[in-house]
């Protein structure tokens, strides 16, 4: 039962072309990181001495330094090989690879008609996600070697990080909702473990717990969605469930499924109101924030909507809700990011906001645009986080050098860092231009495609004709476009502010510390530079047809077997006029430039460090506290629930139930003592024993007779 | 392997041996054994007990091998004459519902004894003998086909448990053990009356389930008897609101007894007797609604209470109460998925909860307490412990990839079709489970409390590691290959579900039950 013949793992290829694709390699994709987890985990468990003393030898940490990134790089190489073959096969003729390749794994559950196995699915979307995860994952793993090498729990760190990649690959490669759910909750587990990585600090553990529990609220929606899918479509495999549900477009069941799935997305991808865990998640090591909480895991919700596009496109109201929630989240988080002082918090809220853009895209049926932004965001946000990591690393070392306990993440303690860390500053500047939407950097193209898609669908598309809560889709889409533009403006402002505070002006770290500030080692700067390169050229993945320089709409073509039908169901066939498109691009660029100009005007000068800075008041304080959302959730949900569980249930109801039974018992005893002449003392225990003894005696007598 | 055991005629002897061997071995252990530190002559009673239990585990393995997943009806069935005057037969047999639980019991008890090797130092011969009696009772409950025999096994389990908690327990153990006996006894007396009534109605010729299941009973009679059986079993399974004895008993009990209390004899009996014997009552809309609602209440209530416990053992108890709700929900969803999920949870729960109790017992051995506030930062000093404890907690909160997920998923998906609202409320249990599970991790493993005693605590010994490795493997194995249990229980569950719907006592077709594939 455990063993599966090798031949079973490879589904007989549908066409001669498919056989060119090395399907067995697909199984190795999650397996490489998993083996890495096992090796690093073993090292972690065997190298810890008494009382947590770090007895890691050089040999051991060399193993970790090789195995940790090596496992991910191996998976990346495998992914590239698979992708190359797919590319060649797809180029050989139209129609090939239109259906996903299903790799049958061992049976998992088979009960009645319910049946699903450990099956993987290879298609254009899953291989793209795999490339992003393993590619950026490799860079971040390499960076981590530099960033975490001196940590006492170096091996444990890589064990968790490898395990994360394994689960993330299961998430995107799974061929059914349950298998995807394994990855879905698995990455949540790794996220929990890594946020609370430095667990001696209570706040970190609390942040990890919060992330897991809030994600579980989302997973609750995911579970209900699976129950609905099964009762409606009698299958949990993507292929058969989607073909059944696709035929039921417009039915209430499909709407319910889409809404429940979106609860899951909102949890994992930090959308309103479930975003509250992501800013706290910054308690983890910074490379973790880059990999898990920016580039990969948090985009799983976007991936899910695209994967379930046949469901979402069959429920236009749900799609409108997705796009609306995305827009409101994008705006909300961007305003909060305006007034954060912690460099990682700026980036965290920025991530929430950018994820909002992705949901704007996939909600409006612009699935390719959503995935496009997912990819470019992975480039530039991973870069920004790693850059921030280098900065924090430098400040931390400087403060460590002078034994001062200052906040190494506070922007007010930075300033003028470009003089000390020119490479990091230059790379982060590129990423800032990308996220702000300045051409030719990657973020410009993806964000522009999202906004222009929304605009073109706002009129005359099936989605515009649908409605959500009585409001017409057209109104919603125009509003979303407006919000998107405002958010773009805010994005340019808060990112420029962050860059100015960190890198320009006079240095506020401290006079003694300045001598210790220096650029990160090559192991950390090289991944950042590579990401900067990707950020610069990433837009080529999907250039708009308007621009005649190079392969246009590459991603659109690549993903079309997966997204085209669903996208057309929501968008119709309308193509925007070149003129409209040109105007939209002009608006987008102008917005970004204005935003940068505003920020330069406002934030060029910051003269006080954190210790001497005045406390924020008024609007600044409100934004700094994220509108008090955490406090509100604490006061409205967490505390009442705990109090209810503790005071009402544990100390009240449960004691009451117990007393009721004891009282009832005493009453029986009392009755018994009235009637039983030999038992006058009302001792229930004695009474009980006599009954037992009597019963056994009767049985014994019968047995022996 | 199967053929080898069959050639030895294992089908004829394996079940009687499983029931009677521990019973017979109890006396020599009591007479020949001595305390671990004792001066008197004799053999260390722990060794004797373990030898006896190892043979029991071997027998369990034989049963697993000879069981035919595709076989119909009772397997390894044995009928020996017992009390011919009243038609009672020493009739044993298993199907796919009972077999996994028997094997689980046969392995769990010896593993627990190894895990708690140094836990009991006084009156060890008596302890060993009682553990053997208890094992006999537990196995007897799972394999008896004769209701009188079942009742005997039911009570046989009660008595050793009373002494185990009362004598070797900690804290208010005398009170806890008495409450346990009282709660169970009141319920089982009701059941005894119902058994007698059933016997009379059946013509006074047989207590055998195959005979009684064919009886034509009117609706009212079914309701009365179902009520009696169900009450007995619900109390034993600690269904809310009959649950309050469980946290006290498991808190006070010695670790091994706490593990045994986690075995799901009550829900097994519901599935084996209460539902098939009285299908019209079990599918009565009112009765079913009450039980389903109670199950959902138990899921949420147990999880919420687990959130606010300081004592680690009580926390696990309340999480059991929550899981029990899932089992009950699955049983009364009466769909193939629901009932198979329930069986799956019965097995999983035996593995996971036992692992947790054993781990907490190991902490108790080291730190002298089970209060979570007294620990903290154990991940640093006891990394091995931390790994297994985390894995067990993840299984408890139903992380996919562990065994805990599959059962709950099946129960919920099997309930959803007919009772979507209840299933949705029950699903919210996964959120609360995350809260209590991670809270336990936080308080025990992370958050250092600075105590020097903790810094001195030793990580798991080789013996403890070996035992916990078995549990860890089981948790992951059944998470990935639950078919090992599901495939074997499918036919038996189909019998139950179809029997309820189409059997002689089934409710008239007007009932609202719809067929769900």
**DSSP string covering A355-422:** HHHHHHHHHTT-HHHHHHHHHHHHHHHHHHHHHHHHHHHHHHHHHHHHT----TTBGGG---GGGT-H
Q: Is the pLDDT of residue A642 over 50?
A: yes
Per-window interface: B 26-85 vs A, CB < 8 A:
82-83, 85
Q: How far apart are CA B144 and CA B153, in angstroms?
A: 8
Q: Please tell me the least confidently modeled range out of A33-42, A347-356, B450-459.
A: B450-459
B192: nearest CA in chain A?
A695
Q: Where are the beta strands (DSSP E) in A67-143?
A: 101-103, 107-111, 114-117, 120-122
Q: How much is the mean pLDDT over chain B?
A: 90
Written as six digits, the tokens of A125 are: 């979307």
CB contact under 8 A, B427 and A220: yes
pLDDT tens for A103-124 read 999 999 999 999 999 999 999 9
Written as six digits, the tokens of A228 are: 């609905």
Alpha helices in B462-503 (DSSP H): 462-480, 483-502
Mean pLDDT of the region B50-63:
95
Mean pLDDT of the region B273-296:
92
Q: Is the pLDDT of residue A315 over 90?
A: yes
| Whole-number pLDDT of residue B314 | 93
Q: Please tell me the least confidently modeled range out of A153-162, A555-564, B300-309.
A: A555-564
Task: Give the total residue count for chain A.
Answer: 705
Q: Is the pLDDT of residue B516 over 80?
A: no
Q: Is the pLDDT of residue A21 over 80?
A: no
Q: Is B490 on the interface with A (CB under 8 A)?
A: yes
CB contact under 8 A, A212 and B438: yes
Q: Is the pLDDT of residue A685 over 80?
A: no
Q: At a CB cut-off of 8 Å and minimum separation 6, what does A84 contact?
A: none
| Residue B364 burial (CB count, 10 A) | 20
Instruction: Please tell me the distance in Å from B22's CA to the nearest CA on chain A.
Output: 19
| Whole-number pLDDT of residue B510 | 46
pLDDT tens for A588-639 read 999 999 999 999 998 877 677 777 777 777 888 888 888 888 888 888 888 8
Instruction: Please tell me the distance in Å from B46's CA to the nearest CA on chain A.
Output: 29
The helix (H) or strand (E) run that includes residue B207 is none
Residue closest to A68 by CA, chosen among A30, A29, A35, A28: A35
CA B513 to chain centre: 29
Q: How far apart are CA A542 and CA A561, in angstroms?
A: 16
Q: Please tell me the least confidently modeled range out of A227-236, B83-92, B132-141, B387-396.
A: B83-92
Long-range residue pairs from A548-553, CB within 8 A, at least 24 positions apart, any chain: none
pLDDT tens for A666-684 read 666 666 556 554 444 445 4
Mean pLDDT of the region A334-340:
93
CA A172 to chain centre: 12
B78 φ, ψ to 5°?
-135, 130
pLDDT tens for A437-495 read 998 899 999 999 999 999 988 888 888 888 888 889 899 999 999 999 999 999 999 99
Residue closest to B398 by CA, chosen among B356, B370, B430: B430
Q: How much is the mean pLDDT over chain A?
A: 86
CB contact under 8 A, B423 and A227: yes
Is pLDDT larger for residue B157 or for residue B449? B157
Sort out which chain B residues have CB atoms less than 8 A from A202's CB and list them. Answer: 446-447
Written as six digits, the tokens of B219 are: 């609706």
Q: Is B424 on the interface with A (CB under 8 A)?
A: yes
| Whole-number pLDDT of residue B502 | 76
Alpha helices in A197-315 (DSSP H): 202-233, 238-246, 252-268, 277-280, 286-290, 300-307, 309-312
Q: Is the pLDDT of residue A694 over 70?
A: no
State whether residue A31 is helix, strand or coil: helix
Written as six digits, the tokens of A285 are: 């090591």
Look at phi and psi of residue B332 and say left if phi exceeds 0, alpha if psi is from -120 to 50, else beta.
alpha
**Where residue A14 falls among pLDDT bands split at 50, 70, 90?**
very low
Instruction: Please tell me the distance in Å from A173's CA to the nearest CA on chain B.
Output: 16
Q: Is the pLDDT of residue A537 over 60?
A: yes
Q: What pTM did the predictor assign?
A: 0.92
| Whole-number pLDDT of residue A4 | 43
Q: Is B305 on the interface with A (CB under 8 A)?
A: yes
CB-nearest to B431 from A48, A189, A213 is A213
| Residue A87 burial (CB count, 10 A) | 14
Q: Which of B64, B151, B188, B304 is the best residue to mutate to test the A interface, defined by the most A CB atoms within 10 Å of its own CB?
A: B304
CB contact under 8 A, B416 and A665: no
Number of A/B CB contacts below 8 angstroms equals 184
Q: Is the pLDDT of residue A1 over 50?
A: no
CB-nearest to B434 from A216, A234, A702 is A216
Q: Is the pLDDT of residue A160 over 90?
A: yes
Q: Is the pLDDT of residue A51 over 50?
A: no
Burial of B102 (0-12, 13-18, 19+ CB in 10 A): buried
Output Rg (C-alpha) for chain B, integer angstroms.
22
Instruction: Please tell me the distance in Å from A148's CA to the nearest CA on chain B.
Output: 18
Work out the angle at residue A299's Cα, subtended by the Cα atoms of residues A294 and A301, and round it to the nearest 5 degrees: 145
The helix (H) or strand (E) run that includes residue A630 is helix A629-633
Q: How far apart are CA A148 and CA B343, in angstroms?
A: 46
Output Rg (C-alpha) for chain A, integer angstroms.
29
Q: How far apart are CA A171 and CA A179, in angstroms?
A: 7
Q: How far apart are CA B182 and CA B188, in angstroms?
A: 10
Q: Where are the beta strands (DSSP E) in A462-601?
A: 467-468, 471-472
| Whole-number pLDDT of residue A556 | 86
Give the highest mean pLDDT range of A50-59, A156-165, A407-416, B160-169.
Answer: A156-165
Mean pLDDT of the region A244-249:
90
CB contact under 8 A, A702 and B447: no
Q: Where are the beta strands (DSSP E) in A467-572?
A: 467-468, 471-472
| Residue B502 burial (CB count, 10 A) | 11
The helix (H) or strand (E) run that includes residue A187 is helix A177-195
Q: How far apart are CA B316 and CA B300, in angstroms?
A: 14
Written as six digits, the tokens of A336 are: 């909060």
pLDDT tens for B186-239 read 888 889 989 988 898 888 888 999 988 888 888 888 899 999 999 999 998 888
Is pLDDT larger for residue A12 or for residue B27? B27
A179 in Cβ contact with A170 (< 8 Å): yes
- The DSSP symbol for B382 reads -
Is pLDDT larger for residue A405 or for residue A551? A405
| Whole-number pLDDT of residue A695 | 60
- The DSSP symbol for A153 reads T
CB contact under 8 A, A50 and B381: yes
Work out the angle at residue A477's Cα, subtended by the Cα atoms of residues A472 and A478, and round it to the nearest 5 degrees: 100
CB contact under 8 A, B486 and A202: no
Q: How far apart are CA A589 and CA A594, in angstroms?
A: 9
A202 in Cβ contact with A86 (< 8 Å): no
State whether residue A574 is helix, strand or coil: coil
Give the pairing type, strands B43-44 and B33-34.
Answer: parallel
| Residue A185 burial (CB count, 10 A) | 28
| Whole-number pLDDT of residue A545 | 72
Residue closest to A564 by CA, chosen among A124, A261, A180: A124
Q: How far apart are CA A473 and CA A461, in angstroms?
A: 9
Q: How far apart are CA A114 and CA A230, in angstroms?
A: 8
| Whole-number pLDDT of residue A151 | 85
Before A440, cis peptide (omega within 30)? yes
Q: Where are the beta strands (DSSP E) in B300-371?
A: none
State whether residue A550 is helix, strand or coil: coil
Mean pLDDT of the region B128-153:
94
Is pLDDT larger for residue A362 or for residue B450? A362
């Amino acid at each position: 039962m455990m063993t599966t013949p090798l031949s079973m793992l490879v589904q007989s290829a549908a066409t001669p072309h498919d056989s060119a694709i090395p399907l067995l390699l697909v199984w190795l994709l999650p397996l490489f990181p998993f083996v890495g987890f096992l090796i690093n985990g073993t090292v972690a468990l065997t190298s810890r001495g008494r009382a947590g003393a770090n007895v890691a030898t050089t040999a051991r940490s060399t193993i970790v330094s090789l195995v940790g990134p090596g496992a991910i790089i191996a998976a990346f190489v495998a992914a590239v090989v698979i992708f190359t073959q797919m590319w060649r096969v797809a180029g050989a003729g139209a129609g090939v690879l239109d259906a996903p390749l299903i790799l049958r794994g061992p049976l998992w559950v088979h009960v009645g008609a319910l049946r699903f196995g450990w099956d993987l699915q290879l298609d254009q979307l899953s291989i793209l996600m795999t490339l992003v995860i393993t590619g950026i994952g490799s860079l971040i793993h390499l960076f981590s070697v530099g960033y975490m090498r001196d940590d006492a729990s170096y091996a444990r760190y890589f064990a968790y990080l490898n395990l994360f990649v394994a689960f993330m690959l299961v998430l995107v490669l799974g061929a059914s909702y349950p298998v995807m759910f394994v990855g879905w909750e698995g990455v949540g587990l790794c996220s929990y473990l890594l946020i609370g990585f430095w667990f001696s600090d209570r706040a970190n553990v609390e942040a990890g717990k919060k992330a897991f529990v809030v994600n579980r609220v989302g997973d609750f929606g995911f579970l209900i969605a699976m129950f609905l899918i099964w009762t409606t479509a009698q299958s949990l495999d993507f292929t058969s469930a989607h073909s059944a549900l696709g035929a039921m477009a417009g039915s209430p069941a499909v709407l319910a499924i889409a809404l429940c799935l979106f609860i899951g997305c909102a949890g994992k991808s930090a959308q309103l109101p479930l975003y509250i865990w992501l800013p706290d998640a910054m308690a983890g090591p910074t490379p973790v924030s880059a990999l898990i909480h920016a580039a990969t895991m948090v985009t799983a919700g976007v991936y899910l909507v695209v994967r379930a596009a046949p469901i979402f496109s069959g429920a236009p109201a749900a799609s409108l809700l997705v796009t609306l929630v995305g827009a409101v989240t994008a705006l909300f988080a961007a305003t909060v990011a305006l007034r954060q002082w912690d460099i990682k918090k700026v980036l965290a809220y920025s991530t929430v906001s950018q994820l909002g853009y992705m949901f704007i895209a996939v909600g409006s049926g612009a699935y390719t645009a959503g995935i496009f932004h997912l990819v470019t965001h992975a480039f530039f946000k991973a870069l920004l986080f790693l850059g921030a990591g280098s900065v924090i690393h430098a400040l931390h070392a400087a403060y460590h050098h002078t034994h001062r306990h200052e906040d190494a993440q506070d922007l007010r303690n930075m300033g003028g860092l470009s003089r000390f860390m020119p490479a990091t500053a230059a790379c982060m500047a590129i990423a800032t231009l990308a996220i702000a939407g300045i051409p030719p950097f990657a973020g410009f193209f993806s964000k522009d495609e999202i906004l222009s898609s929304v605009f073109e669908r706002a009129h005359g598309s099936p989605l515009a004709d649908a409605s959500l809560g009585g409001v017409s889709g057209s109104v919603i889409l125009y509003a979303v476009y407006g919000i998107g533009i405002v958010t773009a403006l805010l994005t340019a402002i808060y990112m420029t502010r962050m860059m100015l505070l960190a890198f320009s002006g006079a240095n506020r770290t401290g006079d003694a510390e300045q001598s210790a500030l220096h650029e990160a080692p090559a192991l950390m700067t090289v991944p950042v530079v590579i990401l900067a390169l990707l950020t610069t050229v990433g837009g080529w993945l999907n250039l708009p047809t308007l621009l005649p320089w190079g392969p246009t709409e590459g991603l659109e073509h690549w993903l079309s077997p997966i997204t085209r039908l669903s996208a057309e169901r929501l968008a119709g066939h309308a193509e925007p006029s070149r003129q409209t498109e040109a105007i939209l691009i002009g608006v987008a660029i102008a917005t970004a430039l204005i935003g940068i100009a505003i920020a330069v005007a406002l934030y060029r000068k910051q003269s006080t460090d954190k210790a001497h800075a005045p406390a924020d008041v008024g609007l600044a304080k409100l934004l700094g506290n994220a509108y008090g959302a955490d406090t509100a959730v604490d006061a409205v949900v967490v505390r009442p629930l705990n109090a209810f569980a503790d005071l009402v249930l544990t100390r009240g109801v449960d004691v009451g139930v117990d007393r009721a039974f004891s009282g009832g018992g005493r009453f029986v005893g009392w009755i018994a003592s009235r009637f039983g002449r030999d038992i006058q003392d009302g001792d229930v225990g004695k009474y009980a024993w006599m009954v037992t003894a009597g019963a056994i005696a009767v049985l014994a007598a019968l047995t022996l007779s | 392997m199967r053929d080898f055991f069959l050639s030895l005629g294992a089908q004829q002897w394996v079940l009687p041996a499983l029931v009677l061997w521990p019973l017979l071995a109890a006396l020599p252990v009591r007479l020949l054994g001595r305390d671990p530190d004792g001066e008197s002559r004799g053999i260390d009673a722990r060794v004797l007990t373990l030898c006896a239990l190892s043979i029991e585990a071997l027998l369990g393995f034989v049963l697993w091998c000879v069981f035919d997943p595709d076989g119909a009806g009772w397997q390894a069935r044995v009928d020996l004459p017992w009390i011919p005057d009243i038609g009672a037969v020493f009739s044993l047999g298993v199907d796919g519902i009972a077999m996994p639980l028997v094997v689980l019991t046969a392995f769990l008890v010896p593993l627990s004894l190894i895990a708690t090797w140094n836990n009991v130092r006084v009156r060890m011969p008596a302890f060993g003998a009682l553990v053997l009696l208890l094992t006999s009772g537990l196995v007897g409950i799972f394999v008896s086909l004769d209701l009188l025999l079942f009742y005997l096994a039911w009570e046989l389990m009660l008595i050793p448990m009373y002494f185990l908690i009362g004598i070797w327990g900690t804290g208010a153990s005398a009170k806890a053990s008495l409450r346990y006996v009282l709660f169970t006894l009141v319920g089982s007396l009701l059941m005894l009356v119902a058994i007698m009534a059933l016997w009379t109605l059946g013509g006074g010729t047989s207590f055998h389930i195959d005979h009684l299941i064919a009886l034509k009973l009117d609706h009212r009679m079914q309701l009365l008897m179902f009520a009696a059986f169900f009450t007995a079993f619900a109390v034993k399974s600690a269904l809310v609101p009959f649950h309050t004895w469980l946290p006290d008993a498991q808190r006070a009990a010695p670790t091994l007894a706490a593990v045994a209390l986690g075995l799901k004899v009550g829900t097994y009996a519901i599935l084996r007797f209460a539902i098939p014997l009285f299908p019209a009552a079990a599918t009565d809309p009112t009765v079913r609604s009450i039980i389903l609602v109670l199950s959902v209440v138990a899921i949420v209530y147990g999880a919420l209470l687990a959130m606010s416990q300081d004592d680690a053992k009580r926390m696990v108890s309340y999480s059991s109460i929550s899981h029990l709700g899932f089992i009950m929900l699955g049983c009364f969803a009466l769909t193939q998925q629901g009932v198979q999920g329930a069986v799956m949870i019965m097995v999983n729960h035996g593995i996971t909860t036992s692992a947790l109790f054993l781990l907490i017992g190991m902490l108790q051995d080291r730190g002298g307490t089970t209060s979570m506030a007294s620990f903290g930062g154990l991940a640093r000093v006891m990394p091995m412990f931390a790994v297994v404890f985390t894995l067990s907690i993840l299984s408890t909160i139903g992380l996919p990839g562990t065994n805990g997920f599959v059962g709950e998923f099946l129960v919920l998906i099997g309930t959803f079709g007919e009772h979507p609202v209840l299933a949705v409320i029950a699903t919210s249990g996964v959120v609360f489970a995350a809260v209590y599970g991670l809270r336990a991790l936080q308080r025990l493993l992370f958050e250092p409390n600075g105590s020097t005693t903790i810094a001195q605590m030793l990580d798991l010994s080789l013996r403890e590691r070996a035992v916990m490795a078995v549990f860890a493997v089981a948790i992951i194995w059944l998470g990935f290959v639950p078919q090992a249990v599901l495939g074997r229980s499918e036919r038996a569950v189909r019998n139950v579900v179809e029997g309820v719907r189409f059997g002689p006592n089934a409710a008239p077709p007007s009932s609202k039950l719809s067929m769900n594939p």
